[in-house]
């Protein structure tokens, strides 16, 4: 399992998989989705632009699971 930290409200599933270094090109995710290789929170993913938010889990069949975490900006602020 890989933990991926994002500092935005969401990231699209194709961008996430590319960001994690699993594919070199976001369009490769299209074929992975068509082949039924990607599940989001246990459900088959059918959209390249599916929004993935902190707390979501993306499972890539025969590869890895990505757990998405948000970066807590409050911890880095000094008073």
CB 1 within 8 A of CB 57: no
Residues 6 or more apart whose Cβ sits within 8 Å of residue 66 = 1, 2, 3, 4, 16, 17, 20, 57, 58, 59, 60
Paired tokens of 72: 């807590």
pLDDT at position 47 is 93
CB 12 within 8 A of CB 29: no
Mean pLDDT per 10-residue section of the chain, whose length is 79 residues: 92 94 88 96 95 96 93 53
pLDDT at position 61 is 94
pTM for the model stands at 0.83
pLDDT at position 24 is 87
Q: Which domains does the chain have, with CATH numbers?
A: 20-71 (3.10.290.10)
pLDDT at position 77 is 45
């Amino acid at each position: 399992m890989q933990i991926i930290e994002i500092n935005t409200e969401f990231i699209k599933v194709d961008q996430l998989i590319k960001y994690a270094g699993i594919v070199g090109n976001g369009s490769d995710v299209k074929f992975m989705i068509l082949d039924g290789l990607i599940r989001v929170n246990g459900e088959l993913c059918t959209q390249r632009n599916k929004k993935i938010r902190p707390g979501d889990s993306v499972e890539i069949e025969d590869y890895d699971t990505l757990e998405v975490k948000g970066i807590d900006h409050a911890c880095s602020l000094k008073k």
